[in-house]
């Protein structure tokens, strides 16, 4: 049984656990399973970490070595109160699963409520660091991360946050959130390789829409394709029909990016064929916002492509989470699991949370596939290419299992 939320939690390792592993020679890879799997042939050898040390980010003091026998303390900052409390609690539940499944006596997790505000998050970080935290996991929201950065920098403590706000990355802060720019690059590259050369976007007038449009231009240019029509609509409007009608009438593209999700996507998608978009000629493309079980309920999205984590990799976790908490986990809960598992792996290897340890060049394998923290504070992920088919999404191009093919 999971322990209730407290000020600090120590965990022991349980057998037959889901395991986040360092790829390469430092740790052996293992599978995610809940009972002993049948014998399998040995996997091919994974590339060993590059020997060149990763330089510490500027202005980040070096951490003293962990005293023999001392616990490696790690802060977990999540909004457990306020408007984002539900997602914060789900991420905490997932992190606690990771600690029970792979944590051991060497790691102590200091759980703190970031409250959804910068002030509360800074106070939570200060308290956890004062209590000995050598790494900060979280917080979730951009304003929280921005407020925590000075606290962590002064103490020489790294941050592995869940935000996707790129301006916060670097100088001792890593962003573990899903980056729409990588998702768009992946799906555009795949679409171009399969005959799509003229891209367009129908995007909300929002910060996310801005990122998506810029990423589309960059990805198309990098692939040797073109971007023609870009149409924007009021993200809060309930009447986007005229914008969609004008967009479809242009007919100067063979692939359309729809950087929208949830109910907004399900309302927008059927307007495209209604106003005459020929789905036999035009390929619909999406972002990680499409990693939602409801996407398959909209017939207009049948056959559309998007990039994201392979859902098969986290299927066992989702079942265990459902069994424990009686509800399905949101996708962000997997980040809570992977971040806590990352801390557990590093704690087991001497409690080294230095930039060099965090940016292991061979990366890590988690619930969402392989990932590695880059020296600039971003995260690089190995993403699958998915297609909407009926009430499910099917993998049509698998995610890589090592970063070797991505860097060669």
* Closest of 245, 247, 284 to residue 266, by C-alpha: 284
Q: What is the DSSP string of 360-371?
A: -TT-EEETTEEE
Pick the CATH number of 180-308+386-407 from 3.40.640.10, 3.40.50.2300, 3.30.43.10, 3.40.50.2020: 3.40.50.2300
Return the SS3 of 280: coil
Spatial distance between the Cα atoms of 124 and 341, rounded to a whole number of angstroms: 21
Which residues share a beta bridge with 274? none
Between 10 and 350, name the one with better pLDDT. 350
Least confident of 7-16, 107-116, 328-337: 7-16
Return the SS3 of 167: helix
Where exactly are the structural domains of the chain? 9-178+312-377, 180-308+386-407
pLDDT reported for residue 66: 74
Architecture of domain 9-178+312-377: 3-Layer(aba) Sandwich (3.40)
Q: Do the first three CATH levels of 9-178+312-377 and 180-308+386-407 match, i.e. the same topology?
A: yes
Cβ burial, residue 361 (10 Å; 0-12/13-18/19+): buried
Spatial distance between the Cα atoms of 274 and 244, rounded to a whole number of angstroms: 10
Question: Could you tell me the strand order of the sheet in which 305-308 lies?
Answer: 226-233, 198-204, 255-257, 283-286, 305-308, 384-389, 392-397
Query: What's the rounded mean pLDDT across residues 135-144?
Result: 97
Between 403 and 223, name the one with better pLDDT. 223
Determine how many CB atoms are found less than 10 A away from the CB of residue 240: 19
pTM over 0.85: no
Query: What's the rounded mean pLDDT across residues 93-109?
Result: 90
Q: What is the pLDDT of residues 318-337, one digit of tens each?
A: 999 999 999 999 999 999 99
HSE at residue 54, side-chain half, CA atoms within 13 A, is 22
Spatial distance between the Cα atoms of 317 and 97, rounded to a whole number of angstroms: 9
């Amino acid at each position: 049984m999971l322990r209730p939320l407290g000020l600090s939690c120590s965990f022991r390792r349980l057998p037959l656990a889901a395991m986040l592993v360092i790829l390469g020679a430092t740790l052996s890879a293992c599978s995610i399973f809940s009972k002993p799997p049948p014998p399998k042939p040995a996997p091919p050898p994974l590339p060993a970490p590059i020997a060149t040390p990763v330089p510490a980010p500027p202005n980040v003091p070096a951490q003293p070595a962990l005293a023999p026998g001392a616990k490696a303390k790690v802060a977990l900052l999540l909004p457990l109160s306020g408007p984002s409390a539900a997602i914060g609690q789900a991420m905490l539940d997932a992190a606690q699963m990771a600690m029970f499944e792979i944590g051991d006596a060497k790691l102590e997790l200091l759980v703190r409520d970031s409250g959804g505000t910068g002030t509360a998050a800074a106070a939570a970080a200060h308290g956890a660091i004062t209590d000995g935290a050598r790494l900060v996991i979280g917080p979730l929201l951009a304003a929280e991360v921005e407020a925590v950065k000075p606290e962590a920098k002064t103490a020489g403590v790294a941050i592995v946050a869940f935000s996707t706000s790129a301006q916060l990355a670097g100088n001792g802060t890593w962003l573990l959130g899903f980056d729409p720019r990588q998702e768009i690059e992946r799906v555009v590259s795949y679409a171009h390789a399969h005959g799509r050369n003229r891209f367009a976007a129908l995007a909300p007038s929002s910060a996310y829409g801005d990122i998506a449009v810029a990423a589309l231009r960059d990805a198309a240019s990098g692939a040797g394709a073109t971007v023609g029509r870009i149409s924007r609509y009021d993200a809060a409007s309930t009447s986007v029909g005229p914008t969609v009608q004008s967009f479809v009438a242009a007919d100067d593209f063979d692939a359309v990016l729809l950087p929208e999700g949830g109910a907004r996507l399900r309302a927008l998608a059927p307007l495209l064929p209604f106003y005459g978009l020929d789905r036999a000629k035009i390929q619909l493309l999406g972002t990680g916002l499409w990693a939602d079980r409801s996407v398959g309920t909209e017939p207009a999205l049948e056959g559309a492509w998007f990039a994201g984590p392979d859902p098969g990799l986290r299927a066992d976790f989702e079942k265990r989470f459902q069994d424990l908490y009686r509800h399905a986990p949101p996708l962000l809960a997997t980040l809570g699991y992977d971040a806590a598992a990352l801390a557990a792996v590093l704690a087991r290897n001497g409690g080294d949370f230095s930039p060099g340890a965090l940016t292991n060049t061979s990366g890590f394998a988690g619930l969402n596939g392989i990932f590695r923290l880059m020296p600039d504070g971003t995260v690089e992920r190995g993403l699958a290419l998915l297609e909407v088919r009926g009430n499910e999404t099917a993998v049509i191009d698998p995610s890589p299992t090592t970063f070797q093919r991505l860097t060669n």
